[in-house]
Structure 1
């Protein structure tokens, strides 16, 4: 049907519109299993984007993408798109260009996208390049770097070495990364891991004490929602949206029952206690030893798509999966409020509970 529509389209403009709609519909999904007739009809148009040409495996498109991704003249946003496509396509020739970005790039957004794209590659040079530059990156880039290292066993050993050398600290490693390390590291390495997170598996007592602290803070004292907004942006907006502000990794908080303070406090203190439907964490292990955790955002008979804690969609072929299991742990890290004072807790919750956006102060 789709091939027939393309073949019957009267002009380039309509063919281009059909191809653009097709590309949008199959973003993050495999096109390798499409009927030959449809693939031929797509190739026959002259309206293919560079991304689609890459996915179709055109050598000229790969060469163009490699030239542009390594050029400082290419806008950052375009380099981010290119490095994402190259990672999804697993173009082996892209590895040197990506490693050069890791070694020399300063823009956090491009570094983060490149680190995520490198998760698709098994080459030991990936963990070597990351370990060399890790100490020079800001905290959010280090978190993504740790996640990339933890996707494979060799990288997990490298990350443990960075902890031993005090280049990395246990406090900066996200919970989902610790979970991946536990899957990868057996024996003596597991013992070393437990030295850094001795109580990671049993935090219930800490959660009870933290919930009591938060509840006591919310029971007394005044609060400033404007200060709370700043705290929301700093601590929550990367993953959650409220009044059209914030990311789309976790649930949108705007329609959520936010006036139920005890329940809201419990879910912030212990996010794994009650996980909303559709936001369960899934962990995939591939045949080549890669571990990916995230929300299951899309699937078809050939492929699944997991959205990781960075908000990036990772597409995996079912034929490459060794296992896919749902976890009872939330991607949202525990302990988010532990660094906040009682006044900051009151301010944050006062903002979370408001029914409409704040006026400019």
Structure 2
């Protein structure tokens, strides 16, 4: 079995780098299909149009409907074809990135990712998470390549609500622990190979950066400024976690996240907020030391990430609901089976309730 590490063709991060987007992607094509939210189009369209002002090309902006579903992907593919576009650009957050990557994959054209928030590690990956139109996890779409270019304008990202940056920290929080679990079980990473030392080093650096700069970055963003800590956390959330999870592998934390998507009470949470609690559940599954668990819970408390079921929106704990989460977590093909020991619904159910009990000690 081979080892592998994969990444986007080019990663660019810095203040006001969106102004130079033409210089970074003009070699990819001549007709660009730009997917963003209504607000994302309002914020970035003038900057993108100005960048392309001196080059004759077609720019087609289309609003995202809000869910990375098969129906939304098909709708956007139709509009792309009608405008004869040969490059997809996803501007915004995780579900827009996953949708843009899926559209580009089915149309066999390049994709460029432009985060305006740092809430997930989706920008760099060769993966799209597909949901139903109602927002319930459906499947992972494994892609043959990573995005051609990822452009992160930290001036824009730092202006987003701090909750989004914190959600990205919650998502990135799982990276090292999931990669380590995959290494112990000799599981394959998301690229289909075994884990390299480089991937583990990036995953470890990701966790260290979050512990060192996570709270400082949150406070800076809340103060309306972009500091070195903010820059570091944006890189950790986007690149270190992106390469770390994909080339290191996923395990229980993200499977637990997928499990919680079956509960309507949790639909108000961002992806990374659910992953943060899923990380605590994974640590309980592994029977980690209280010192290790307290370190993660301490960061979550500093950032107001969920550490209990009540934080997840589950006010009244009902056995049948938590068991439905455990069942979904243990669905066939889920990444929870990358854990280095036997997994079943009862074990996951117990870990969820135990994680909740531990979390309540700190409330």
- Give the structure-1-normalised TM-score: 0.32
Higher RCO structure, 1 or 2 (CA under 8 Å, sep 6+): 2
Bigger Rg over Cα: 1
- Give the structure-2-normalised TM-score: 0.32
